[in-house]
Structure 1
Amino acid sequence: MMRRADGQSFRWSLQAVVALVFTLVVLAISSALIGFNHYQLTKLTVRDAEDDFQRISNNVRDEISGSLHIAGSVLDTASLTLDPNLPSEQLGGLLISILKDLDDALPAAMGIFIGRGDGSHIVVQSLTGKWPHEIGTGIEGAAYAFMIIENSSSQHTARWVVTDREGKELRRIPPQPSEFDPRRRPWYRASLQSPGMIITPPYRFASVPEVGITLARQSRQQEDAVFGIDMTLASLDLYLEKLRIPAELELLVFDNSGVLIAHPRGAAYRAALPDRSGKLLTVDDARSPLLTGMFKTFQQNHDSLGQSASFSVNGDEYFGRTERVGEGVDNLFVSLAIPYDIMIGPAQQIRSGLLLISAASVLLALLIVLLASRRLALPLRKATEDIGRIMKFEFGHTRRAPSRIIEVGELSRAIDTLEIALMNFMRYVPDALVRRIIGRKFSADLGGKRQPVTVLFSDVAGFTTMAEGLDPEEVMAKTSRYFSEIGNELVRSGATIDKYIGDSIMAFWNAPDERQDHVAAACLGALRASHRLERLNAKFVAEGGAPMRTRFGMHTGDAVVGNVGSVDRVNYTVLGHTVNMASRFEKLNKRYGTTILVSEDVCAAAGENYLFRFVDRTVPEGAHRPMAVYELLGAMRPDEPELAPVPERLETLEAWEVVRALCEAGDWQTALGLLEKLVEAAPDDILFRVYLDRCRANLGTLQTT
């Protein structure tokens, strides 16, 4: 209350009081914000420059690491699949096909080779760049050349073969004496001493005047053989040129000794370098004061890598940063710098305009906020809660009230679409993989890594005959019921279902989520699935249909886990010998009349809670030596008594172990008598009949001889 001149009280309305108080508060806040904005703008400009530096550094790092990852995957596959003992020219043809596939995915790959312990060496080189002088010039259609180093008792010889892109021979160079011996190369010795891939420091290649690095790893089939890939650094120069925005930005890659690895003008610098007996171009050789200043700043601030710093070159101020490339090449560094006035100049022009715009915007925002905040807050809060539940994979949110605001309505529809899309996505892709994708813990890049896994294959006995007697719609419906039952149990035990192949399932454990007990989990999943199918088959029979009796095969071991496919479609899967053996074990069930057949490795790693029965020692298709196979009989789990072995198997298990020992000792006569009793006690056990026939056959052979 205030007093007027005539002595009467001056009254304020509530609306005026609220408006005045609110106006004063807003003015105070806006003044503080404008002042704070003035202070922060320069700081934000510096931060934006740092973010740009980080983005460019990450791009360079990703370019290098991506190339190394692709090359590493190729080497890993080659070391697993290529036989180093093949004839040299046959190996050359195989290496040409690999290099041809690498041309599009990895342009930096200049050549691929194998060095062997006998001193022989096969290297395939792309002819898209400079040609080796040994092969001459003027070969129309030439795409690849491979050199074969052969070691005789008297000397090493080298011969070259030039081919077109399809591997057709165009020119053959006669053998010439050579001093090249792969066993004296640093990559050969380092590969034999390392369990994985090694990367050499940059050096000048022997066959062409190019600078690059070599990636190599030991063959998994022959200990004294080494596979390798030569990668040129010329493509990195072009990549840096693409990242050089604005034009005043300077960036380069060097090693800790000052060798200039890559620069947008790297090719010109190298061309101007006089011949110095194979020595590499250094930063000082470029004769650029700025590049020299950047390297000196790196040397002075070596302990604070990754932090931006200001430095002066010939009186001009620069702002820059140097970071380690990493990803297997820890001795390489990427450095960036930009003139300080170029970086801060636009920000200074914007700052003055922002001061005026900020003041007007604050006043306008006051009115908009008062009118819109109440109406927008509630539906937005509800939408945020719904998104939070969806990101936690909790589907089925309550229906929201319709809004007359277009954006809120579109947001609601987008949330509904997101929920439906994610729900359906999880029906096509394993849950664990979806969670990693959503959590940004999974890369969709092609390639994979080697790790232990347990692989399972299943197959329905007599499926083709059953399907012939049903309509396609009935086959689809019945198969869907079957896959739903068996798939639920496998997923419940932690499996990743790789694919459905007709009536078969391929699943694996320990990827993408790793777990120590993946072998035991796989055994539990197979038992649960088998028990679940017994109940499902009872329903099929009650409905007048045929049961779907299923056989399982499992193996555990190392495999390559990752993405296989093309740029527009990938499949997360496992590859390798372990996968092939699991499939072979599944097929062996038919021979022995078993349901779940596993390898000796699975039997050894499953744990004491699982009961196995020795089946045989045989050579599965694709194997090179006899392997012991076991039948998984059941699990001792108090919470799941239905998974216990059937009594009939337990009653004959002790006698079976005696028979097994007799057979291994060659006492076929005694084993025959016990097996006849076992067949009489368990006539449905095909395994006893298999061994009974084997005993009779061996006894017949002995009597004949």
Structure 2
Amino acid sequence: MSKDKKFLPNFIKQNINLRISISVIFLMLIIPAFITFIFYSYRTNYLIYKQNAINLVVRANEESIHSLIEFLDPIVDAVRVTSKMVASNPELINQEKITEHSIVNLENNLNVVSYFLSSKDGSFRQVQRTNQAIPIAGRVPPDGSQYVSWVIDRSKNQNGESTYTFFKSWGDVIAKFTSPNKYDPRERPFYKGITKNFSEGKFDIPLIEDPYFTNSTKQAVISISHPITVSNQLLGSVTAQVKVASFADFLLKNKISKNSQTIIFNEQGDVIVHPEVNLGFIKEKDTLVPRKIVDLDSSPASVAKKIYDQIGSKQIEFTFGENKVPYLANFNSFPANYIKPWIVMTVVPLDDFMAELNIINQRLIIFGIFAFILITFLTFYFSKLISKPLESLTTEIQNIFTFKSDDYPQVTSSIYEISTLSNAIKRLKSTIAAFTSYVPKDLVNDLLSSGKAIELGGESRYLTVLFSDLKDFSTLSEITPSRELLLRVSSYLELMTYAIKEEGGTIDKFIGDSVMAFWGAPLLDQNHAYHACVAAFKTKRRMVFLNEKLVAEEKPPLVVRIGIHSDAVLVGNIGSAERLSYTVMGDGVNIAARLEGINKEFNTDICISHSLFKEAGERLWVRPIDQITVKGRKGELIIYELMGIQDGDAETAPTEIEKELCIFTKKAFDLYMNGSYVEALVIYEDLVLRFDDGLAAVMVAKCRNKIN
């Protein structure tokens, strides 16, 4: 009883230590991984959303400029067309016909509130929309009026009166009156700007003014003017007035997000258009005083503009307010060749784009906490499940190494690896016990404790071997100068080397004009036979181009013959400590070399073995050559000629003639193998006649020998 008490605490101590060790190690790995995963996921998602937000702001800012140009261009085109029309008939300035044209322009563009012509003699003809709340020359517009024209004709009288005519539509006059004139368009900024441009040689350049207050419409407008010129003489100008509010509405409708702001300002930093119209300027009596963006009461826009002025970057990230809210800002100028060098600024709080990200991150954290709790529970459970049988197995292994013969019961476990380990230890124990009956225990113990590994020079592996050489190379070498021969052979070897490397092969050696290569070592290649065939056929195709070049140089072409075989061979480092070679050896190598030579007997180019055909034949275009006996092998084997690759690219696909040769040669060969030599002879002779096929010619002779 006392012995059991002594043993039990020690066992419990070991059990607890192992379990805690597994649990602590696992948790030490999982907690940093979990925290890293959460942080990485959050950071990655944040950067993705942030980059998307930046891209969106940049794109929206650029699109704002394009949209503003599209907003302005029809108005610019309208005043340009009118100026050209008047230039072709200057009398129109003082004719009512131009009033009809102006009304049509107002009807065609609802953003334009006023349309007028000014002449160099001070004449003025304006058409604007009426508003019951805005008096015209001290009078309330009559009911039903839609437009009012204001005409000052100085062509006859320099102190001409102002004539006002109210229209429901063109030709439908509701009221008309005159009043003394105090207005001279030539004194207005728009006309002075046109005159200045004209004096600088800008005869056909529109003028867009910054916002100003107009008494006729009692609102802030931006005017777009175009000079009227005849024979390089300034006759006057055509002007369209657009409400600043229309620009502001345009910016509001094209907001990128709920809290975004797009502001137009000039090179001096003056606000041209603010989405909240009254923030863009200060009205003093009937004059607009532009505001600076930097003076917009410490708004995000003012902060962005200050940073922009300091660093000059188009893309800005900054924080605003006591809570350090992150903002994105983007600045872009109107095109350099555009009428006004305005700048468009888009400012957006980053949180406008992060709502979905926050939801994703909340779910990620909740899921992570739940997963962490579950993993912790499973860790303690499986640590117990693993630790108890491992302790018993550890004790039994220690007994094996010390040759203790204590007979412990076999450990059982529902875990496959532990159960397998228990069975292996039991067999190891039985094996060592039997081994020690033949070998001294001291020697066995030394072998067990040293753990020395046995190193071999090679291993047996099933792979594919390729041999190649050039036809009639000996004759060629006798009639060709050495340097020229070297260059020509090098061209062929380079071509073949590339083909082999492209298909993952290993070049063993070059032997004169011969190449030896193999596939399937040192790296395993499940498709070694197929890749060897693709490399061989690429070589055949590329030799055509090489020979075309040689023939063009009046040199004899080169014909390459290839043999390929798949077999189990010895592969590894062979040699001595001074010199090692990674190569293949075995009967399979000899067969590949023999197949290369067989090409000569059958007038073929690429000869493959039946074992290779079994490996990759369904992916190849081949035709049977003959059934032969190979030296060193019992029995006969069928050999084939490679004619192309199925489902390959254009380089390795067979021609229609090659496909026909495959089909009809197969039929002839089947007849030949069945003893129907006469029928086979007919097909082979037909192939010789139709295609001048060398293999068929050889088989014709064989068939005739069989028949005779």
Q: If the length of structure 1 is used for normalisation, what is the TM-score?
A: 0.40
Which has more radius of gyration? Answer: 2
* TM-score, normalization by structure 2: 0.40
